[in-house]
Amino acid sequence: MLCKVDELIQKKLQKDELIAHYASANFAAMLRYEDRDKLEQRVKNILSELEHIDNDHRFNFHVGIFRIGESVGENGKPIKRKDIDIDRDYNNACTARASLASNDDTAIAFFDEEMVKEQKWIDSVQERQKRAIENEEFLVYYQPKYDPRTDELRGAEALIRWKAPEEENMISPGRFIPIFEKNGFITEIDHYMLSHVAKDQKAWLDAGCKCVPISVNVSRAHFIESDLAEQIRDIVDSAGTPHELIEIELTESAFFDDKNAMISTIKKLKDYGFAVSMDDFGAGYSSLNSLKEMPLDVLKLDADFFRNDESDGRGKIVVAEAIKLAKNLNMRTVAEGVEVREQVEFLASEGCDMIQGYVYDKPMPKESFARKMA
Ligand code: C2E
Ligand code: CA
Ligand code: CA
């Protein structure tokens, strides 16, 4: 296969251009170019042939491009041929390639300086991840969910925060969860969160608190593990926490990977007595189909529903119908990311069961949440 790829690219080369096989399935090419657009078009043409290089398989390629002629040296003048640092340039091309999303479609990315910063951040997160979990640097924050009719506390979602000793501020999940999803560490994070929440619930229960169910996010990366439901049950059982106090949140994108595995895991979780919710419903992909097939307990309406409604009422219609749909399917609804009181009234009147949003509370440390519960 590698030889075929090499041959095909060789044929496309012009005078003085080079291709080399680096390692595993990585190739490096040095191509001449006039401008960015033409270069991109040329690479695209090569890629479209490469994708069909084998009749029985379709291959996808990720390409990172660094333009040598465009870089300037420290004195501000163009870099001379003898000053080209090929290792650095190859690394820059690799950095551009690494910036491509983890999805498998063929794609091209041009290098820019921001990517270096981003790559440094990714490296520093990956260097620290193991230590962070061992030292319990990850904290569980709780964001309450309220009944919009009575303003009573009905549940909460556990959200991760990272207090790294070398950073002054808490690191928000948006800056590290995607990295962990890509490198697989997310499975350890999810276990960590689940066991911490289970322990907190058990301690509150033992202290005589009137506990509410707390939902924990489970990443899609988990769903290749066929014993996921058993793993979740065992973690909760080892804390001695009643199953009805734990809810599992699955994002809608997870529903795409392996439907059957997903359905069987959801069924097992429900048999064990855990409630299962669909997170971010209505964001990005919309999968009414998954509602048809998945026996879920809770539908979480994505925060996007509650942003800039153009006040022609269309947004409200969609929300009202989604709540109705959930009710007919015997599901409860949680509206996420609600920030204004007026929407609380509206959601209450439409029969939405719970609200989780800044209008009530932001995510908070466990001590503050315990006081709310009390
Ligand atoms: P999510 O699961 O959709 O969580 C809801 C996010 O919306 C949280 O952001 C929450 O702070 C934010 N939010 C809640 N109410 C409001 C509001 O009224 N206005 C606004 N603007 N935002 C609101 P957060 O904590 O930064 O988490 C971001 C995402 O990171 C989560 O989205 C989830 O996908 C991921 N995440 C967080 N904790 C975990 C975890 O323990 N495990 C996994 N796998 N993912 C997690
Ligand atoms: Ca969630
Ligand atoms: Ca959500």
Using one digit for the tens of pLDDT, what is the confidence trace for 64-99?
999 987 656 566 677 677 778 888 899 999 999 988
The domain ranges of the chain are 2-111, 133-373
For each of the chain's 374 residues, which pLDDT tens digit applies? 899 999 999 999 999 899 999 888 899 999 998 889 999 999 999 999 999 888 888 889 999 999 987 656 566 677 677 778 888 899 999 999 988 876 678 999 999 989 989 989 999 999 999 999 999 999 999 999 999 999 999 999 999 999 999 999 999 999 999 999 989 999 999 999 999 999 999 999 999 999 999 999 998 778 778 899 999 999 999 999 999 999 999 876 666 667 888 889 999 999 999 999 999 998 766 568 778 888 999 999 999 888 876 667 888 999 999 999 999 999 999 999 999 999 999 999 999 999 999 999 999 999 999 999 98
Q: Could you say which DSSP state residue 337 is in?
A: S
Place of tokens 């690494």: 98
**299-308 burial string, b = 16+ CB within 10 Å, else e?**
bbbbbebbee
Alpha carbon nearest to ligand 1 atom 34, residue: 217
List, in order, residues 6 or more apart from 221 with CB less than 8 Å away: 181, 184, 186, 187
Testing ligand 1's pocket by substitution, the residue of 162, 177, 196 carrying the most ligand atoms inside 8 A of its CB is 177
Place of tokens 């022609």: 312
Place of tokens 């795409």: 256
Nearest by Cα to 326 from 358, 290, 356: 290
Testing ligand 1's pocket by substitution, the residue of 143, 159, 169, 300 carrying the most ligand atoms inside 8 A of its CB is 159
Tell me if 320 sits within 8 A of 305, measured CB to CB.
no
Nearest by Cα to 368 from 156, 89, 98: 156
Report how far apart, in Å, the C-alpha atoms of 328 and of each of 34, 104, 297, 321, 335 are: 61, 37, 12, 10, 17
The rounded distance, in Å, linking the Cα atoms of 252 and 145 is: 20
CATH fold of 133-373: TIM Barrel (3.20.20)
CATH fold of 2-111: Alpha-Beta Plaits (3.30.70)
